[in-house]
Chain A
Amino acid sequence: MTMAERPDDELASAYLDEEATPDERALVEGDPVLLARVEELRAAAALLARSPAPLPASIVDAQVAAALASATVDAAAPTGRSELAAVVPLRRRASNTASWFAAVAAVAVVLIGFASFFGGTDASSQFSSVGGSISTAGGGMAFGGDDSEPEALEGSPTAPEVDVEPSATAVPSPAAEYAGAFDGHALAPMLPDILAVDDDELAAVVSASLEPSGAASLRNAAVADGSTSTSTSTSLAPPTAPPALGRCAPSTAEIHAIAARAMVVLYDIVSVIPVAIIDATVAEQPVQVVLLAAASDAPVIGLLVVDPTGCAAPRAVQLPD
């Protein structure tokens, strides 16, 4: 019992909740001291019943989207492809520049991998063949996914071509409040250097990214990487089969949600923020690269490459510390 607690508090509290027995009620009602204590506890209960300040709408949206995505993670997609984001861990950077520079480099690498994924060509052979630049969404913030169910993407053997035009279809994202934190347009001048990067490990990562995501879970991918940060992470796989919510293309909210789930597994971070979304065209296929951070002013810690129109599984990429 604490200093605050009095011997008859249980009685007074139960009386307040109408959980007291008839005998207890009679006891309380016959004792002015107890009745006074009931009123003190009533005041406390009234204060406790006052809801805390609600979360901002953008966070509510993201949390609901993440929950919805958890119901779709293992649902069968129409094409049989998994909607689960595959994780490609990057254990080292090609260089020790700023973290977001590495993020951009990884964007390029993943785009190459994604192009190869679409085209079915060898990643390493394409690694140095990519040129051009990547268009960025206005302010670096755009979610372009829709809820339609487009046809599955067919493989294309063409070399990746990267669109240089800024996206004209960029729309404000729910996280537009972070738009000033990361200007996607600033990425473009750095891309030539980035695209010229030659790193065997990154090439291997690209190759790994070509593996069908299939049943490999984020957890498994991360564990295979030896990351200890996943040891207490939440499993993506629901304990039982969720309702079948299968569709083809992820919605805008699900893109965010899948990214969030990836970060949960990789970094034990729930409130990941998409600080920039880069719209690009690779191998004639539109892709979106979402740069993820734990906060608007924090380093980019992960990427998500999304096929906004097809059924290719989103690919999450873990950036090294």
Chain B
Amino acid sequence: MEAAQQGDRRALDALLRRHHGRVHAVCRRIAGNDADAQDATQEALLAIVRGLPRYDGRAAFGTWAYRVATNACLDELRRRGRRPVPVEEIVDRGGNDRPDDRLADRLLIDAAMAELPEEYRACVALRDLCDLDYAQIADALGIPPGTVRSRIARGRAALAQQLAGNPGATGGRPTS
């Protein structure tokens, strides 16, 4: 980390690669479609690099990076004025997925998340993808912890409703 902050290119490269997957996952969840997620991921990485000199180590780097990425992603989507892409388009864009990616699950998640504003999706992503606690999410997004709590609940509830309507859609659904 320190080496990356001091300009070690290899260290910075390694740092970005280490967190790229999670950053993209967050952006994908917030954006709701592959194309915007890819662009938002790029903006998020740029934001991380630009903000790196200001990273003071008080929070774990991952936590800090996901916060920066989330806000960069939200900014990018706001700038574009994009809204979630209809599910039909998502199906059409499915060619980029790996074979083992469950299209049905992805559609369920996208459909559920599409019911929510991007800021709500950010809460869900930071909680369930990045494992941040409510206080960390609140700090990252500049909102009260109570708001985080309600937004996460709403996101999960939306997906739970989708699952209830598609009980066989996912094979990974816990039983207890």
Q: How large is the interface on A (under 10, 10 to 19, 20 to 34, 35 or more residues)?
A: 35 or more
Within 8 Å CB of B150, what residues of A? 10
Q: Which of A16, A243, A270 lies in contact with B7, CB distance below 8 A?
A: A243
> In the complex the two chains form, is B28's CB within 8 Å of A52's CB?
yes
A71 at the interface (CB under 8 A from B): yes
Within 8 Å CB of B153, what residues of A? 5, 9-10, 12-14, 41
> In the complex the two chains form, is B129's CB within 8 Å of A67's CB?
no
- Give chain A interface residues in 51-69, CB to chain B under 8 Å: 51-56, 59-60, 63-64, 66-68
- Give chain B interface residues in 28-67, CB to chain A under 8 Å: 28-29, 37-39, 41-43, 45-46, 48-50, 52-54
**How distant is the Cα of A243 from the Cα of B9 in the complex, in angstroms?**
10
Closest-CB distance, B135 to chain A (whole angstroms): 9
Closest to A147 in B: B9
Within 8 Å CB of A49, what residues of B? 128-129
Closest to B5 in A: A243
Closest to B159 in A: A44
Q: Which of B37, B41, B149 lies in contact with A14, CB distance below 8 A?
A: B149
**How distant is the Cα of A60 from the Cα of B45 in the complex, in angstroms?**
11
- Give chain A interface residues in 1-50, CB to chain B under 8 Å: 1-6, 9-10, 12-14, 16-17, 19, 39-50
Contact (A17, B79) CB under 8 Å given A51-B129, A56-B96 = no
Contact (A19, B164) CB under 8 Å given A55-B41, A67-B45 = no
Within 8 Å CB of B21, what residues of A? 51, 54
Q: Which of B24, B115, B156 lies in contact with A41, CB distance below 8 A?
A: B156
A241 at the interface (CB under 8 A from B): yes
**How distant is the Cα of A42 from the Cα of B25 in the complex, in angstroms?**
19
Within 8 Å CB of A67, what residues of B? 16, 42, 45-46, 48-49
- Interface-located stretch among A77-85, A171-179, A232-240: A232-240
- Count A-B pairs with CB separation below 8 Å: 182
Within 8 Å CB of B128, what residues of A? 45, 48-49
A320 at the interface (CB under 8 A from B): no
A244 at the interface (CB under 8 A from B): yes
Contact (A42, B174) CB under 8 Å given A67-B45, A68-B9 = yes
Closest-CB distance, B139 to chain A (whole angstroms): 14
**How distant is the Cα of A13 from the Cα of B156 in the complex, in angstroms?**
8
Within 8 Å CB of B173, what residues of A? 43, 46-47
Closest-CB distance, B131 to chain A (whole angstroms): 8
B172 at the interface (CB under 8 A from A): yes
> In the complex the two chains form, is B149's CB within 8 Å of A9's CB?
no
Q: Which of A4, A14, A56, A68 lies in contact with B49, CB distance below 8 A?
A: A68
**How distant is the Cα of A4 from the Cα of B162 in the complex, in angstroms?**
9
**How distant is the Cα of A2 from the Cα of B157 in the complex, in angstroms?**
9
> In the complex the two chains form, is A40's CB within 8 Å of B160's CB?
yes
Proximity bits, A68-94, B CB within 8 Å = 1, else 0: 101100010000000000000000000
Closest to B134 in A: A19
A126 at the interface (CB under 8 A from B): no
5 pairs, A vs B, C-beta closer than 8 Å = A13-B152, A67-B42, A243-B12, A243-B52, A243-B53
Across the A-B interface, give the 8 residue pairs with the lowest CB-CB distance, nearest first.
Answer: A243-B7, A4-B161, A13-B153, A67-B45, A44-B159, A48-B128, A52-B28, A53-B101
A residues contacting B by CB (< 8 A) are 1-6, 9-10, 12-14, 16-17, 19, 39-56, 59-60, 63-64, 66-68, 70-71, 75, 232, 234, 238-245, 270-271
B residues contacting A by CB (< 8 A) are 4-7, 9, 12-13, 16-17, 20-22, 24-25, 28-29, 37-39, 41-43, 45-46, 48-50, 52-54, 79, 96-98, 101, 105-106, 108-109, 112, 115, 124-125, 127-129, 133-134, 149-150, 152-161, 163-164, 170, 172-174, 176
